[in-house]
Amino acid sequence: MIIIFDLDGTLLNTIDDLGYACNHALQQLGYPVHPISAYPAMVGNGINNLIRRALPEAERTEENVLRVRAHFVPYYDAHNVDYTRPYEGIPELLSTLRQHGHQLAVASNKYQAATQHIVEHFFPGVFACVLGEREGVERKPNPQIVYDILAALKNVQGSMVNVQCLYLGDSLVDRDTAQRAGVPFVACSWGFVPRAQLLAAGVKHIVDSPSEILDFIK
């Protein structure tokens, strides 16, 4: 079975490093910064959208987003594992899944270089395919990232009929990505989106600890 994991808020608590990097970049250009506790509501759609939400409303131009990003990326590249940590139970879950022969993949809206670096830092050799935001490929909830993972791991071209796959994520972006790709979705409640919000949005399957995901594995 192919099991696809979101990264931020699912495998790793990355919010402190994201928040500090964004505040650093904002500060360099004279914009107000935010408490780290405000950042969970801003993440999930890639770095540019994070920056857009962090900017003052009147300053949310594409030009300003790119100006802030130019400060964000080098800082984040140097500090993206300072405070980031796996959620409790995640390493054990991944070990169990690999022992049972499942293929594991990461699908993230974080830019590709950072996605690869962080995954390899915390989970060296664990994931068979690691994809982030890539130039020319639309971000989640566009399902292309799922198709690309399945093509890489199962040589699936176009159709996903008879491919056993499960997608685990913490956000409605992940839910929508899985739905559009036609694969089952399970939400985790330990991430950046509160359980109540997931329930209110009609998410059917929610787990409260990593070990519970095993109930959905065939």
Tokens read off for 205: 């399957």
How do the pLDDT tens digits run along the chain, 218 residues long?
A: 999 999 999 999 999 999 999 999 999 999 999 999 999 999 988 899 999 999 999 999 999 999 999 999 999 999 999 999 999 999 999 999 999 999 999 999 999 999 999 999 999 999 999 999 999 999 999 999 999 999 999 754 444 445 689 999 999 999 999 999 999 999 999 999 999 999 999 999 999 999 999 999 87
Domain 15-79 has CATH 1.10.150.240: yes
According to DSSP, the β-strands at 206-207 and 185-188 are parallel
For 52-102, how does the pLDDT look when each residue is reduced to its tens digit (9 = 90+)? 999 999 999 999 999 999 999 999 999 999 999 999 999 999 999 999 999
Check if the beta carbon of residue 98 is closer than 8 Å to that of residue 47.
no
Residues 45-73, buried b or exposed e (16+ Cβ, 10 A)?
Answer: bbbbebbbbbbeeebeeeebbebbbebbb
Q: What is the pTM for the complete model shown?
A: 0.92
Strand pairing partners for 133? Answer: 111
Q: Which two tokens stand for residue 102?
A: 């499942």
Q: Where in the chain is the domain with CATH 3.40.50.1000?
A: 2-13+86-216
Q: Judge: domain 2-13+86-216, CATH 3.40.50.1000.
A: yes
Q: Is the peptide bond before 141 cis (omega within 30 degrees of 0)?
A: yes
Burial class of residue 184 in the structure, from the number of CB atoms within 10 Å of its CB (0-12 exposed, 13-18 middle, 19+ buried): middle
- C-alpha span between 26 and 74 (Å, rounded): 13
CB 131 within 8 A of CB 106: yes
